[in-house]
Chains A and B, each alone.
Chain A
Amino acid sequence: KAGVTQTPRYLIKTRGQQVTLSCSPISGHRSVSWYQQTPGQGLQFLFEYFSETQRNKGNFPGRFSGRQFSNSRSEMNVSTLELGDSALYLCASSPQAGATNEKLFFGSGTQLSVL
């Protein structure tokens, strides 16, 4: 079974641009969550999608948005990029939402650098 796939692995953008990151969950997984990882801050929760609906949202500005498609693939968009948005963005999938103790299956992340 293929794991969680994130594309692209690396991305370089300039301030003011926008970016879209993609995540394909493990086949059969319906929940996809996104995290921002920066040195010293650990992983900060961005949002979680289940069956195309956003279930939870972290404390990030409206420039950060996402969506999930009917095949459970998810995209994350950041508009008007700022230098502080430089980070590793991790996507994780789990079989279903609401049933806790499900471990998260992570992708290898997209390293975004904003110049």
Chain B
Amino acid sequence: AQTVTQSQPEMSVQEAETVTLSCTYDTSESDYYLFWYKQPPSRQMILVIRQEAYKQQNATENRFSVNFQKAAKSFSLKISDSQLGDAAMYFCALEIRAGNQFYFGTGTSLTVIP
């Protein structure tokens, strides 16, 4: 069975500062992908960043980057130079290559303080 755990239900960060959201996962599969999705108040989930498990290099996307520790099954998201528009619920997700099924964490609600 696959599980995704986000242990921080809520986080806050000052505008322009850096924040890290935590995610751990568990799977016995060796071939998978990891994602961070953002859900603003509009409710529409938006892909922030994704990581292929076979790649050792951490993915980056502008101000967003991940710290992928495969052995520890950890996949944290770092947001640099936080902006007011970053305020949202963030979900960590795991996709197993065989089966094309996604598993989501319970989410972290991020508040950006002006």
Q: State which of B43, B47, B91, B102 has its C-beta within 8 Å of the C-beta of A88.
A: B43
Contacts of A100 in B (CB 8 A): 33, 95-97, 100
Q: Counting CB contacts under 8 A, is B112 at the interface?
A: no
Contact between A106 and B44, CB atoms less than 8 A apart: yes
A44 CA / B102 CA spacing, docked (Å): 9
Chain B positions 68-110 with a Cβ under 8 Å from a chain A Cβ? 91, 95-97, 99-107
Contact with B along A79-91 (1 / 0, CB 8 A): 0000000001010
The yes or no answer to A92 lying at the interface (CB within 8 A) is yes
Q: Assess whether A40 is in contact with B103, with CB atoms less than 8 Å apart.
A: no
Contact (Cβ within 8 A) A33 B42:
no
The contact size tier of chain B is 20 to 34
**A residues contacting the other copy or chain, number (CB 8 A):** 29
A-B interface contact total, Cβ < 8 Å = 64
Q: Is there contact, CB below 8 Å, between A42 and B100?
A: no
Evaluate contact between B106 and A41: CB separation under 8 angstroms.
Answer: yes
B74 CB to nearest A CB, Å: 18
B41-55 vs A, Cβ < 8 Å mask (1 yes, 0 no): 011111100101000
When distances are taken between beta carbons in the complex, the residues of chain B under 8 Å from A3 are 44
Apart from A42-B106, A43-B104, A56-B100, list 4 A-B contacts with CB within 8 A. Answer: A55-B100, A100-B100, A104-B45, A108-B42
Interface residues of A, Cβ cutoff 8 Å to B = 3, 31, 33, 35, 40-45, 48, 55-56, 88, 90, 92, 97-104, 106-109, 111
The contact sample of 17 A-B pairs, CB cut-off 8 A, is: A3-B44, A31-B100, A35-B104, A40-B9, A42-B4, A43-B91, A45-B103, A48-B101, A55-B100, A56-B100, A56-B101, A90-B45, A97-B100, A100-B97, A103-B35, A104-B45, A107-B44
